[in-house]
Structure 1
Amino acid sequence: MRIIRGQKMGGDMLNDYGKSLFKPWLSVQNVVLVLAGIFVAGLAIRIYSLNSSEIASWVQAFGSIAAIWGAFAISNGQVKRAQQEKRDEAKQRFAACYAVVQSAAEHCNSLKVMISQNPPPQVFTMSWDSVLGEMLQASLSSLRQIPAHELGSYEVVVAYQAITGSMAKILGLVADFKARQAFVDAEAGYLFGEMYTQCSLVAFRWEKFKQESGFSEPEES
């Protein structure tokens, strides 16, 4: 049963592939062209009174031409399909990169909202150690794995690099201040101000990234 089922599935796949190859030929224009060719061939035979050997020679010649044209059509169709597959793969790769940059921008926005409320240094430290720090570190790691040369335009690459730089700056600021073991009010104010600036830069560059990429986000169902 398994062998028969496998053969049946293989036959279905072959039929589907064959249909994909011959589908471009099954058009009204091609059918009309074939009928016109048959009519012209029959008319020529009647007018020039061709014998069987001459008819065979002409049929062979037309068959050779048709075979060459068919091989070209199949090859051209395969090339077009391969090119379309490459375009689809490139779109999928960019969609993944877009999601990484979007996630980083959203995490920075969450940080911006929190520090805009000017939390006590202890509260900020607890939030950073429990959630924010890991989220931003993971976002930065993902950003650094994106191949910048595949992002497309110059503007998109610049926006991506600016976002990555601001993320690294934020993490560096926090690491520096945490290494001091204690926050004073002036240091906390400076830290929050610098992080707020970097988060604002990320938001600005994210808008540029979206605008220049021209990527359409999938609609939520």
Structure 2
Amino acid sequence: MMELYFSSFTTSSDIASWVQAIGSIAAIGAAIIISRVQINSDRHKTAQIALEKKEGFAAVAYSALMQAEYLANATTNLDSEQFRQLLLISVHSIQGSINALSTIPLHEIGSANAILGFITLNREMVGLKYDLDQFIAGPLGNHNAYLVFSKCINKRCGTVNALASHTFKALDVSSDRFKSKFDNVINISKGD
């Protein structure tokens, strides 16, 4: 039976035709496999880029959160003069967070809740900076004004905290992921 099958390939043109057909099928199969591998690779790269963007957006929100928490802690742990000196430095950091929050391309965030979180977080940081500017310009030496102001700052910082937490949840990113990174940046800037 095998003899009969192979005996039909008596001429070299028959053999060449079959080899060409088998080669064509193999080339088509290889092209399909290569294209699937490339598509999977592109999907992975796209997902990785999206994750990095999301983490970058969340890092900006985390920075604002840490500045607000730092100020809230300072109002309870420092006297009014120490706090005044801290404010003069903090205003610039808060302005940096406002600038970063303002330049986030909202159309790339993807989640409506995260977009609202960033808009509201930015507004609260602008309000926090306004409050700081008002305190610096006005009743710096007045201890009673300091007490009222520190309550106001703590309330606004609590709002920033809640908004940042909401934003992390909307982005589906844990703030714990940024804590060690942010702490490392702080330690480097302090010269530790």
Q: TM-score range by the shorter chain?
A: 0.7 to 0.9
Question: Which stretches in structure 2 are left out of the alignment for 5+ residues?
Answer: 182-192
Residue 60 of structure 1, CA deviation:
1.2
Contact 1:101–1:160 under 8 Å retained in 2: yes
For 1:99 and 1:140, locate their aligned partners in 2 and report how far apart those are by CA, in whole Å: 13
Query: How far has the Cα of 1:179 moved from its partner?
Result: 3.3
Task: With a CA cutoff of 8 Å and minimum separation of 6, indicate the structure with the bigger relative contact order.
Answer: 2
Larger C-alpha radius of gyration, 1 or 2? 1
Question: What SS does the aligned partner of 1:152 have?
Answer: coil
Letter in 2 for 1:154: A
**Cα deviations by residue, 1:84-131 (Å, 9 ceiling, x for unpaired):** 1122122122222222211110110111122245843x44322211x3
Per-residue Cα deviation, 1:150-203 (whole angstroms, up to 9, x for no partner): 223112222222211111001112223433475645644443333222111111
- Could you say what the CA RMSD is over the residues aligned between the two structures, in angstroms? 2.8
Answer whether contact 2:62 2:178 (CA < 8 A) is retained.
Answer: no
The unaligned stretches of length 5 or more in structure 1 are: 1-42
Measure the CA separation in 1 of the matches of 2:170 and 2:53.
Answer: 17
* 1:126-205 matches, cutoff 5 A: 126-129=85-88, 131-180=89-138, 184=142, 187-205=145-163
Q: Which residue of 2 aligns with 1:40?
A: none
The TM-score with structure 2 as length reference comes to 0.76
CA distance in 1, matches of 2:77, 2:179: 32
* In the alignment, structure 1 residue 124 sits paired with structure 2 residue 83: yes
What is the TM-score of this pair, normalised by structure 1? 0.67
Determine the C-alpha separation between the residues in 1 that align with 2:111 and 2:140. Answer: 44
C-alpha change, 1:181 and 1:112, in structure 2 (3 Å) is closer
After TM superposition, list the pairs within 5 Å mapping 1:16-55 onto structure 2.
46-47=4-5, 49-51=7-9, 52=11, 53-55=13-15
CA shift digits 1:53-79 (9 cap, x unpaired): 323212212211221222232223222
Q: 1:145 to 1:205 in 2, by over 3 A?
A: same
**Residue 59 (str. 1) matches residue 11 (str. 2):** no
Count of aligned positions: 176
